[in-house]
Amino acid sequence: MALPLEFVALELVTLELALVGIALLILISIVANKFSERLGVPALLIFLVVGMLAGSEGPGGIPFDDPAVAQVIGIIALAYILFSGGLDTRWEQLQPILWPGIALSTLGVVLTAILLGAFAVLVLGFSPLMGLLLGAVVSSTDAAAVFSVLRTARARLQGNLRPFLEFESGSNDPMAVLLTTGIIVLILTPGSSVFAFVPMFVQQMAVGGLFGYGMGKAIVYLINRLKLESEGLYPVLSLTMVLLTYGLTAIVGGNGFIAVYIAGLVMGNSIVVHKKSLLRFHDGIAWLMQIVMFLALGLLVFPSELVPAVVPGLLAALFLILIARPVAVLITLLPWKMPMNEKALVSWVGLRGAVPIILATYPLVAGVPNAEMIFNIVFFIVLVSALVHGTSIPSVARWLGLAVPLEETRKLSREFEVDPDTPSELLELVIPPDAPSVGKQVVDLGLPKGALIILMQKREERFVPGGSTVIEAGDTLLLLTTDDLADTVRARLLRREPGDLPTQT
């Protein structure tokens, strides 16, 4: 029977309103993120607050109370975020920190869960298993939050600290998931043995790692060999392979999160056609997934129910930040000779974000008694962590002497692409007043063969310079050169004497 025209019109209006609402939420989140960078507030906090305001108890009034749907959204979003994180990580950065990173993402997670669980039992009055459940849920740092904060200009860190912290956050989720699901089983089925989960963990990590490596190689092979007619299909192919990697790994008993991270790492360190455009595409997808995930989790929260969780949540958050995380880091990293200021910074960068909230939906979906209280405490811990950690990491890094001086944002090279797998390199330099090139014509610079100035900016004017163009202080030059010639080019343009350090943006 045909539907009445009035019913069809009503359905269309409802759909259109839903689309407008979704678009407005994402737009508000993007604009709010712009202000969050200026205020030093992490993006995840902004997205969560926007979701809460849009929820049923906020001005938006959107009814959403389905932990299972939020869990699915969170899992899919986190898979793409982890894949993007792997894509942007260089293998040579990981090699020096691989084993301490693995130790921190396994033993460190267990120690954090045990310490916070003991605190919940002794101070908050939880039963032993419920205390351990709370500790397990918030035991891992969050990849989306860590990537978001560490990849801003405000939080540039020395040496291998950034890849170390990103690797930890990208690889510690499997242990937290295993602990959470294992403790839920122990709660719902009394008499189960905790030792039964040890083989499961080994299987999850081993299968996840092997499948991730194999699927990463498969992604590279398909992208390079399919020769698709349209370049726009390559991002679609990579999107599809991320879901396939996660799904297949989970089906055969591995951890999908570690698999997609390793697959991204393999692809990011391989020769791939259209690599630059794929990197940009997945960076955008990662941001979209962050917004969608945090908005969904924010919608799931009822602010009125957070009131009873304020005191226990604040106490648990302070214990986690000041005691549990630092103790776990110091014990785990004892075998490695890491300077104490670096250990202190690693202890401080314990950002909790979407992963703990997603894991907090597991007890809700499984029907664990008092799961709502666990969820609200976890949400409050995430808010405190976002405020404390997210706003203070740049200051703490500077105080510990581990911050890298901020670089001027690149002006000219953003719109140019160079294949990352070729020896070509874009070099952008700002000419200081005391540089030997000041006052010289381009033809007289003596640049080596293989180095070419392809764009120049004088004040607000951008142009391709000719041989008679005179170099002045403050000019910005964009050069196409090679890796082996980069230092020579810097010396010719910037150094007054051979031993002087170059000035570079």
Question: What DSSP letter does each residue of 126-177 carry, written as one string?
Answer: --HHHHHHHHHHTSS--HHHHHHHHTSGGG-BSTTHHHHHHHHHHHSHHHHH
Amino acid 273: pLDDT: 84
Amino acid 319: pLDDT: 95
Mean local confidence (pLDDT), 279-297: 84
pLDDT classification of 153: cutoffs 50, 70, 90:
very low
In this predicted structure, the answer to whether residue 7 has a pLDDT above a threshold of 50 is: no
In this predicted structure, the answer to whether residue 201 has a pLDDT above a threshold of 50 is: yes
Amino acid 287: pLDDT: 83
Mean local confidence (pLDDT), 376-404: 82
3-state secondary structure (DSSP) of residue 411:
coil
Amino acid 368: pLDDT: 87
Q: What is the dihedral of CA 342, 345, 347, 349, to 10 degrees?
A: -140
Amino acid 151: pLDDT: 59
Higher pLDDT: 279 or 33? It is 279
Each residue's pLDDT tens digit, 62-84: 777 788 888 888 889 888 988 98
Residue whose token pair is 């490695």: 336
Amino acid 406: pLDDT: 47
Highest mean pLDDT among 154-158, 168-172, 194-198: 168-172
Contact predicate 428/411, CB 8 Å:
yes
pLDDT classification of 8: cutoffs 50, 70, 90:
very low
Q: In what order do the strands lie in the sheet with 461-463?
A: 424-430, 476-482, 452-458, 461-463
Each residue's pLDDT tens digit, 87-119: 877 777 777 888 898 899 889 999 999 999 999
In this predicted structure, the answer to whether residue 432 has a pLDDT above a threshold of 50 is: yes
Q: How far apart are CA 404 and CA 477, in angstroms?
A: 23
Q: How far apart are CA 72 and CA 68, in angstroms?
A: 6
Q: How far apart are CA 157 and CA 43, in angstroms?
A: 19
Q: What percent of the chain has pLDDT over 70?
A: 85
In this predicted structure, the answer to whether residue 155 has a pLDDT above a threshold of 60 is: no
Three-state SS annotation for 297-360: HHHCCCHHHHHHHHHHHHHHHHHHHHHHHHHHHHHHCCCCCCCHHHHHHHHHCCCCCHHHHHHH
Each residue's pLDDT tens digit, 310-326: 899 999 999 999 999 99
pLDDT classification of 497: cutoffs 50, 70, 90:
very low
DSSP state of 441: B
- Among the ranges given (121-125, 229-233, 494-498), the one the predictor scored with the smallest mean pLDDT: 494-498
Amino acid 402: pLDDT: 79
Amino acid 148: pLDDT: 66
Each residue's pLDDT tens digit, 218-255: 999 999 888 888 888 899 999 999 999 999 999 998 88
Average pLDDT of the chain? 81
Q: 10 Å Cβ neighbour count for 442?
A: 17
Q: 10 Å Cβ neighbour count for 106?
A: 18
Each residue's pLDDT tens digit, 464-480: 888 888 888 888 888 88
